[in-house]
């Protein structure tokens, strides 16, 4: 019985869901369908909603059916399809919030009936009291009555009000904190001034030093007080992320220095090193495309710092382990590092011994030990004990001047009476001698006479019969004349070839025009025949037309927009 009563109460209050619809029998379903058909035909009256209006029987079921959360009565209605009246809900204003603290009113001095038995406040009971449970409650002592809390209001916040992080923030709270710190700072300064006056009165400090301390700025004295406080509580400091030394007054924090440049700001060129924002890694050198040396820049990439120290040694050991494993040695860097290290060391010793033996055998067979015993080139060209004194302009005053390093080729050797070397003169893409302007190598020098001739060779060709009448030509001029004659012959051949090709083209074009006339006549004759009696594919050609045939077609083609088209047939 109690269970049934409880279920009835829940059903009446609406907490439990609606009754499930009963399953219709086959006969009920048939009758329902027949009634719907009669209503559609007009033989039966239409359904009526709660307002007394008829419901159109032709409305589809998916429109007329009422959702389960709209109307639990299951009566016929179309109210859910009509526009609903929107009621504007009244939300709390932006300045409203829950009241804090206690009201600024007089506190009761005696216990009141219905108040908290522990603290004596009227706004809550003993089980909801937040004060420490007293040994003897306020109900029996009648003293220490706590003030009543604020009567809280019910706030109805909108969407933004529920998600506002600063909702209910009071700026006056921050001002109270500022005032509290200001009072503490003032108390520190007053205490320090009192200590200074006591030291002056005891004679520990001189008057001059006291005068200097009194004129110091307040900002200069403030850090000293902070340092004293840090020294006082230095032993109690044990915080992660910092290391404090009370003797040197240095606080080392394990944070990035704010003056450091971020990796992605080193080089703003988009084609520079790639920066991974997820791992904050930049493996390549960001200054690689600027031409700077990695040792000179402040940051040369993560790989530059990664491949230093024992990293290279570790990589070499791993490479040796892989090579040894391929040769049949059972070694592994992580499984047996000691065995691998000993094997690697013995391998290095054997390798150095083999190189020494190979070097000794080569020297024994071919010789050349005296070249290896010579001092290095840096020492040969380095400082010497020879004293040399130079003037202000760089001339040697005392001592022997440093010898000029020469090449293995002969220098300052002039052939055939020349006073300059071959290649000291250049003209029109040719090299020669500067002394005579000769452009022929290993020629005999003619001096100023060669310059007057026009800069060629001493090998001048003279005509015996007309030695005095004609001016002799140089080898360069003869070569240029020969090249001109070749060019003229080539131009003549080209012109002749072009003229022959143009004649051939004219002949081909004439033949193409004649063929085009014949084709047009043939097409005209076929077009006069009835299309049912024409030969099969009579107007179709398989081969590709030539350029001359295309040109003839363009010339013979009739254009309706041509104003002279009517005169072409005449």
Quote the pLDDT of residue 466.
Answer: 42
In a domain, 209, yes or no: no
In a domain, 293, yes or no: no
Quote the pLDDT of residue 186.
Answer: 95
Residues whose CB is less than 8 angstroms from the CB of residue 564 and which lie 6 or more positions away in sequence, other chains included: none
Q: What is the pTM of this model?
A: 0.25
Three-class DSSP category at 138: helix
Distance (Å, whole) CA 476 – CA 443: 14
Distance (Å, whole) CA 161 – CA 196: 55
Distance (Å, whole) CA 452 – CA 448: 6
pLDDT band at 255 (very low <50, low <70, confident <90, very high): low
Do 178 and 146 contact (CB within 8 A), yes or no? no
- Give pLDDT tens digits for 22-48: 788 999 999 999 999 999 999 999 999
Same domain, yes or no: 487 and 516: no
β-strand 396-398 against 389-390: which pairing, if any?
antiparallel
Segment among 228-232, 504-508, 538-542 with least mean pLDDT: 228-232
250 vs 343 pLDDT, higher one: 343
Q: For the chain, how long is the longest CA-to-CA vector? A: 159
- Give pLDDT tens digits for 44-74: 999 998 888 899 999 998 998 888 877 667 7
* Structure token pair of residue 417: 């009476």
In a domain, 400, yes or no: no
In a domain, 483, yes or no: yes
- Its domain, for residue 370, covers 310-380
Distance (Å, whole) CA 162 – CA 263: 41
* Structure token pair of residue 495: 């012109």
Same domain, yes or no: 472 and 520: no
In a domain, 464, yes or no: yes
If one counts the domains in the chain, the total is: 5
Same domain, yes or no: 487 and 548: no
* Mean pLDDT of the region 224-237: 50
What letter does residue 469 receive in the DSSP assignment? T
| For the chain, percent of residues with pLDDT exceeding 70 | 78
- Give pLDDT tens digits for 86-123: 666 788 888 888 888 788 777 888 999 999 999 999 98
β-strand 389-390 against 430-433: which pairing, if any?
unpaired
282 vs 496 pLDDT, higher one: 282
In a domain, 172, yes or no: no
- Give pLDDT tens digits for 402-426: 666 667 777 778 888 888 888 889 9
Three-class DSSP category at 424: strand
Distance (Å, whole) CA 325 – CA 335: 13
Classify residue 116 as exposed, middle or buried by CB count within 10 Å of its CB (0-12, 13-18, 19+).
buried
**Above 70 in pLDDT, residue 141?**
yes
Same domain, yes or no: 437 and 470: yes
Residue 440: CB atoms within 10 Å: 17
In a domain, 61, yes or no: yes
Distance (Å, whole) CA 31 – CA 238: 86
Quote the pLDDT of residue 298.
Answer: 80
488 vs 206 pLDDT, higher one: 488
What mean pLDDT value characterizes the chain? 79
pLDDT band at 83 (very low <50, low <70, confident <90, very high): confident
Do 474 and 453 contact (CB within 8 A), yes or no? yes
CA-nearest of 48, 45, 38 to 76 is 48
In a domain, 230, yes or no: no
* Structure token pair of residue 547: 């350029």
* Structure token pair of residue 395: 């001339």
DSSP H or E stretch at residue 10: helix 2-13
* Structure token pair of residue 540: 């179709």
Same domain, yes or no: 427 and 472: yes
pLDDT band at 567 (very low <50, low <70, confident <90, very high): low
Q: Which of 491, 518, 540 is the last residue of a domain?
A: 491
**Above 90 in pLDDT, residue 75?**
no
235 vs 567 pLDDT, higher one: 567
Same domain, yes or no: 335 and 370: yes
**Above 50 in pLDDT, residue 461?**
no
Residue 550: CB atoms within 10 Å: 13
- Give pLDDT tens digits for 418-453: 888 888 899 888 899 989 888 888 888 988 888 887
457 vs 310 pLDDT, higher one: 310
173 vs 194 pLDDT, higher one: 194
């Amino acid at each position: 019985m109690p269970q049934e009563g409880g279920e009835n109460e829940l059903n009446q209050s609406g907490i439990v869901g609606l009754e499930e619809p009963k399953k219709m029998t086959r006969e009920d379903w048939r009758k329902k369908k027949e009634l719907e058909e009669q209503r559609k035909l007009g033989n039966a009256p239409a359904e009526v909603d709660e307002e007394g209006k008829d419901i159109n029987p032709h409305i589809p079921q998916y429109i007329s059916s009422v959702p389960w959360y709209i109307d639990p009565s299951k009566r016929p209605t179309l109210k859910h399809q009509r526009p609903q009246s929107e009621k504007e809900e009244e939300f709390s204003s932006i300045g409203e919030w829950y009241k804090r603290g206690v009201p600024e009113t007089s506190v009761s001095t005696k216990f009141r009936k219905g108040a908290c038995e522990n603290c004596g406040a009227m706004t809550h009971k003993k089980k909801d009291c937040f004060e420490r449970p007293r040994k003897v409650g306020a109900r029996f002592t009648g003293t220490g009555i706590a003030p009543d809390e604020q009567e809280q209001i019910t706030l109805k916040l909108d969407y933004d009000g529920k998600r506002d992080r600063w909702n209910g923030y009071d700026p006056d709270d921050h001002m109270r904190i500022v005032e509290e710190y200001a009072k503490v700072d003032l108390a520190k300064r007053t205490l320090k001034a009192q200590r200074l006056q006591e030291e002056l009165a005891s004679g520990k400090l001189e008057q001059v030093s006291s005068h200097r301390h009194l004129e110091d700025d307040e900002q200069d004295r403030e850090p000293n007080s902070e340092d004293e406080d840090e020294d006082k509580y230095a032993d109690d400091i044990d915080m992660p992320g910092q290391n404090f030394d009370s003797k040197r007054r240095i606080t080392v924090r394990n944070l990035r220095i704010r003056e450091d440049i971020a990796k992605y700001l080193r080089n703003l060129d988009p084609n520079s090193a790639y920066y991974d924002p997820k791992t904050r890694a930049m493996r390549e050198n960001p200054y690689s495309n600027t031409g700077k040396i990695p040792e000179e820049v402040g940051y040369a990439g993560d790989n530059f710092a990664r491949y230093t120290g024992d990293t290279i040694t570790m990589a070499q050991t791993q490479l040796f382990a892989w090579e040894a494993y391929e040769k049949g040695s059972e070694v592994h860097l992580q499984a047996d590092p000691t065995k691998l290290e000993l094997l690697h060391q013995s391998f290095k010793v054997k390798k150095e011994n083999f190189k020494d033996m190979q070097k000794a055998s080569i020297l024994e067979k071919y010789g050349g030990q005296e070249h290896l015993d010579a001092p290095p080139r840096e020492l040969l060209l380095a400082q010497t004990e020879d004293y040399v004194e130079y003037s202000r302009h760089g001339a040697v005053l005392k001592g022997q001047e440093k010898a000029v390093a020469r090449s293995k080729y002969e220098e300052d050797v002039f052939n055939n009476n020349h006073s300059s070397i071959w290649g000291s003169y250049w003209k029109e893409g040719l090299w020669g001698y500067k002394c005579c302007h000769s452009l022929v190598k290993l020629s005999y020098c003619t001096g100023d006479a060669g310059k007057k001739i026009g800069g060629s060779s001493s090998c001048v060709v003279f005509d015996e019969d007309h030695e005095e009448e004609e001016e002799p030509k140089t080898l360069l001029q003869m070569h240029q004349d020969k090249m001109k004659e070749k060019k003229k012959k080539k131009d003549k051949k080209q012109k002749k070839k072009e003229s022959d090709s143009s004649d051939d083209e004219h002949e081909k074009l004439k033949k193409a025009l004649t063929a085009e006339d014949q084709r047009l006549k043939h097409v005209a004759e076929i077009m006069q025949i009835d299309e049912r009696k024409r030969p099969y594919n009579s107007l179709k050609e398989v081969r590709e037309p030539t350029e001359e045939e295309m040109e003839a077609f363009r010339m013979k083609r009739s254009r309706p927009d041509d104003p002279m088209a009517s005169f072409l047939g005449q």
